[in-house]
Amino acid sequence: MQRRTLLRTAAGAVAGFAAAVRPVLAADADIEVTPRPEGDIISPHIYGHFIEHLGTVIYDGIWVGRNSKIPNVDGIRLKFIEDMKRLAAPNLRWPGGCFADGYHWRDGIGSATARPRTYNYWQSSMPPGFDHTETNEFGIHEFMHLCRLTGSEPYLAANVGSGSPREFHDWVQYCNAPPGTVSLAAERAANGDKAPFGVKYWGVGNESWGCGGAMNPGEYATLYRRFITQFPVYAPKPYLVAVGPRGHSKDMDIGWTTGFFENMLPQHRARVDGYSLHFYTDFRNTKEKVSRFDAAGWYDVIREGLRTEEVIEKHWTAMGAYDKTHHTKLIVDEWGVWYPPGEETAPNHLLSQPLTLRDALHTAVSFDVFNRHAGKIAMANVAQTINCLHALFLAQGDRYTRTPVYHVFEMYRGHMGGRLAQLEIRTPERKVPARNGTAAMPALSGSASTRDGRLSITLTNPSLDDAVACRIRLTAGTASEARATVLTHSDKAARNTFDHPDEVKPAPLSVTVRGNNVEVTLPKQSVVSIELRLT
Ligand code: AHR
């Protein structure tokens, strides 16, 4: 630890040198929290989800089939429904991902036995011997049923890469037209759903710079305009999301953002409500392992996760050059850690990863970044919810476990719909081992919000060596009824398995409140959430 930093986390995080902070003991932190009546609302949708027809995300993970012995509701895994309800999962993005731009929605309606078997984008990535042909058993009706069972809003990704405006508009009518109007509404009713689905969130393609069509931003902007100009107008008012950059590129892909907005006149820009940003903590081309790593690997992954802040800020600034009032908000609809292949939980569980405590801390620092930029981010969707990449759940047949990532989602629930408060962390910056020597990183990460007379504070201590004693001062009001929860483990690579599903789980943590002062010690390698009643 070499220098003092001040991390201010309200209208945007500012990390830098603290000019005049009072001296702190080594490994101690002074934190100041200021509730702000004018603070941005943290959209509950930031805690959103993404599920794709990829590997075993849908089939086996979520869809076990109506005749399965695995407890289910109309074919949907019961445990998954229960856990998503527990998290108040705000939304589900579906059907892809790359799969979306090869998906034709009509293949997934009508009698399940009559549905065609179709090519799945991901089948060529499956190991030899595994058939990944799409059965279309899980289509729009099954997806909407899942949304209703979990209380989540649907967010559909339309096929731009191999579809047409007509196919897209038909899907919109099929989903949203009131009964007794167009034929597609009658067809929906005949297939079991008389009432419109009321889909508000529509993604116009996915990764159109890559698997969604390998376009340049100008080509995509042209297609975006064609796809949305005759968008059928039904309730609810649509929220249209354009494909944005590959944020984890070395150059952050700013060229995509400027290229896209440049090719849109102001009247078109007004029809871009959301702008998708993908940010993977991308270790695919490294030797990093998911489940075995040293200190450098631990810090590298968490530090790379923090880079999302700069990516958000840079793209927001680039968008502002064309959209002065910032009508268009960011939708981080794919984020998470992506390790190299080789540690899948089973051979056919494509892109599944045995996530550890390290990934839980990565989740926490990512959420703190999203919270701190609540005014810019309307939604975020973890990639993906089950059996893939940054998963909250792993499932195989009748075996099921929550990963450490799940617990962070649960610990951050207090922020959903809360009003961003200012959080200033005064603590020396930390020098940490890195693959290429050493690196500096903030000693703590955090965010704070208020809602209904309650204050939620989340803090992460990434140190593998030191606990951090925190003195938190509320600059206005006093606190009572403090409750703190900690997620940690003595083994930095600890994880939950089917045989030991509770190896990593939250536990109560002692916290002291005296008037406007709160004292709590963050164990090393931990995530802590504190809930206080404001008086
Ligand atoms: O989440 C896995 C894949 O990552 C998605 O299908 C794609 O959009 C992204 O490249």
* Cα(21) to centroid(ligand 1), Å: 44
Q: Is 97 in the pocket of ligand 1 (CB under 6 A)?
A: yes
Instruction: Label residue 317 exposed, middle or buried (CB < 10 Å: 0-12, 13-18, 19+).
Output: exposed
pTM of the predicted protein model: 0.94
What pLDDT digit, counting tens, does each position of 79-91 carry? Answer: 999 999 999 999 9
Substitution candidate for ligand 1 out of 101, 125, 132, 207 with most atoms within 8 A of CB: 207
Distance from C-alpha of 73 to C-alpha of 115, rounded to nearest angstrom: 21
Q: Is 5 in the pocket of ligand 1 (CB under 6 A)?
A: no
CB distance 331 to 383 below 8 Å:
no
Residue 384 alpha carbon, nearest atom of ligand 1: 1
Q: Is 135 in the pocket of ligand 1 (CB under 6 A)?
A: no
To the query of whether residue 334 is one of the catalytic residues in this protein, the response is yes
Q: Is 102 in the pocket of ligand 1 (CB under 6 A)?
A: no
Residue 351 alpha carbon, nearest atom of ligand 1: 2
- The list of the chain residues with pLDDT below 50 reads 1-27
The catalytic residue among 52, 134, 334, 424 is: 334
Taking CA atoms only, the protein residue closest to ligand 1 atom 7 is: 97
Q: Is 276 in the pocket of ligand 1 (CB under 6 A)?
A: no
Q: Is 531 in the pocket of ligand 1 (CB under 6 A)?
A: no
Cα distances (angstroms) measured from residue 264 to each of 9, 237, 321, 427: 33, 21, 13, 45
SS3 state of residue 280: strand
* Cα(179) to centroid(ligand 1), Å: 35
Position 27 scores a pLDDT of 41
Distance from C-alpha of 481 to C-alpha of 454, rounded to nearest angstrom: 10
For strands 91-94 and 48-50, give the pairing. parallel
To the query of whether residue 82 is one of the catalytic residues in this protein, the response is no
Taking CA atoms only, the protein residue closest to ligand 1 atom 2 is: 97
Position 19 scores a pLDDT of 29
Position 28 scores a pLDDT of 87
The catalytic residue among 52, 134, 207, 424 is: 207
